[in-house]
Amino acid sequence: MSASAAPTAEYQASDPVQDGRAFRSALGQYGTGVAVITTLSGGVPVGMTVNSFAAVSLDPPLILWSVQNASGRAAAFIGAEHFAVNVLSAEQLDVSRIVASPDAGTDSFSQIAWTEGLGGAPLIDGAIARFECRAHDVLPGGDHQILLGRVEQCTVREGEPLLFVQGGYATHESFSASRVEAGTVTAATDASAASDPAPFVRLVTAVNHRLSRNFDEHRGRFGLSVASSRVLKRLSAGPLTVEDLVASAFLETQAIEDALSQLTEADLVEGDGPTFRQTLTGRAVREQVAENARHFNDATLAGLPEADVAAAYRVLRALAHQPLQFHNTKEKAQ
């Protein structure tokens, strides 16, 4: 392959100056972790949830993140001699939200377990990496300032990271598990269970990966973003406010507001007060999506013996209910 004559037709282009929503949505295509930056300001702990953290330099060890000039918390960080970066684990969605809340005050730190790091900057218990930084530089970045920190100590623990992808929270599945081992399962159909470590786990992972991808592509989104599809789904149960949606859709406020704008423009949702509801067109689209899903389910299981399918449902339901008996109790103790 080489350079072709014209861009692929399926791309949507936008001018980021004219259309901030499209620009934010494009930025969301790049997945990130979630970090809580903390400092001590006038003896009081201050925190911000960000996804602008990035590694910069190994020697000297430098990292960066950005703070919005308009943020009420910017001054505390720009004037700080020390700050800490806490990389959140997949178990810490609540920590992300407590700190991200627009009216989060110093009392957020009474709802979170933490210890004091260098310069008093809070180190959050359970974070999978914590970088204790001395302020190194503050650089101009448009409506943000870019803060560089020189890392004086880092602490890590095992755990799965919390991710932020396409406007919503997520976890990861490594290629090793989802692809290579899925490949192994597919190739070695009837490999003996004894020689294949945890074969049932691998098989479920392989099937999940395949079905999820098929289903994603099958269901279609009627030109809606991932976030808009999810918001429309939540609204199919009844009218909701932005706050209700934040609590139930695992999306952040900005992503929900952008989704509501998109849905309103497409005449799928209406509402201008605090409450939003599906329109008749929105309901019709949701019904089409549900119909697609039923069709997918039927097509997936078609051709398999009915008794086997019924037994598979029984086994999977039992496993979905199985207590987390192998769960590491140390982790839960936090």
Q: Are the CB atoms for 37 and 84 separated by under 8 Å? A: yes
Q: Is 107 in the site for a copy of itself (CB under 8 A)?
A: no
Token code pair at residue 60? 């000297």
Residues 269-328 that bind a copy of itself (CB under 8 A): 289-290, 293-294, 296-297, 299-301, 304-305, 307-309, 311-322, 324-328
Among 81, 94, 160, 267, binds a copy of itself (CB under 8 A): 160
Residues 124-143 that bind a copy of itself (CB under 8 A): 125-126, 128-131, 137, 139-143
Q: Is 97 in the site for a copy of itself (CB under 8 A)?
A: no
Q: Which of 33, 110, 122, 47 is nearest to 77 (CA)?
A: 47
Q: Give least dist CB 78 to a copy of itself, A.
A: 15
Q: Which CB sits closer to a copy of itself, 272 or 333?
A: 333
Among 78, 165, 242, 266, binds a copy of itself (CB under 8 A): 165
The identity of residue 187, as a single letter, is A
Q: Which stretch binds a copy of itself (CB under 8 A): 163-171, 239-247, 262-270, 277-285?
A: 163-171
Q: Which CB sits closer to a copy of itself, 140 or 273?
A: 140
Q: Which CB sits closer to a copy of itself, 273 or 327?
A: 327
Q: Which CB sits closer to a copy of itself, 73 or 221?
A: 221
Three-state DSSP state, 214: helix
Among 42, 192, 272, 330, binds a copy of itself (CB under 8 A): 330
Residues 32-61 that bind a copy of itself (CB under 8 A): 32-33, 35, 51-61
Residues 223-252 that bind a copy of itself (CB under 8 A): 226, 230, 248-250
- Within 266-305, residue ranges assigned H as helices are 280-301
Spatial distance between the Cα atoms of 197 and 188, rounded to a whole number of angstroms:
13
Q: Is 194 in the site for a copy of itself (CB under 8 A)?
A: yes
Instruction: Report long-range pairs for 134-137 (Cβ below 8 Å, ≥24 apart).
Output: 134/81, 134/82, 135/80, 135/81, 135/82, 135/83, 136/62
Q: Which CB sits closer to a copy of itself, 73 or 233?
A: 233
Q: Is 204 in the site for a copy of itself (CB under 8 A)?
A: yes
Tell me whether residue 89 is exposed, middle or buried, using C-beta atoms within 10 angstroms of its C-beta: 0 to 12, 13 to 18, 19 or more. buried
Spatial distance between the Cα atoms of 267 and 253, rounded to a whole number of angstroms:
21
Q: Give least dist CB 59 to a copy of itself, A.
A: 5
Half-sphere exposure of 72 (CA within 13 A, CB side): 8
Q: Which CB sits closer to a copy of itself, 54 or 280?
A: 54
Among 40, 76, 80, 206, binds a copy of itself (CB under 8 A): 206
Q: Give least dist CB 275 to a copy of itself, A.
A: 21
Q: Which of 136, 120, 130 is nearest to 61 (CA)?
A: 136
Q: Give least dist CB 20 to a copy of itself, A.
A: 6
DSSP H or E stretch at residue 242: helix 242-249
Q: Give least dist CB 91 to a copy of itself, A.
A: 10
DSSP for residue 106: G
Among 73, 97, 134, 221, binds a copy of itself (CB under 8 A): 221
Three-state DSSP state, 16: coil
Q: Give least dist CB 18 to a copy of itself, A.
A: 10
Three-state DSSP state, 247: helix
Tell me whether residue 303 is exposed, middle or buried, using C-beta atoms within 10 angstroms of its C-beta: 0 to 12, 13 to 18, 19 or more. exposed
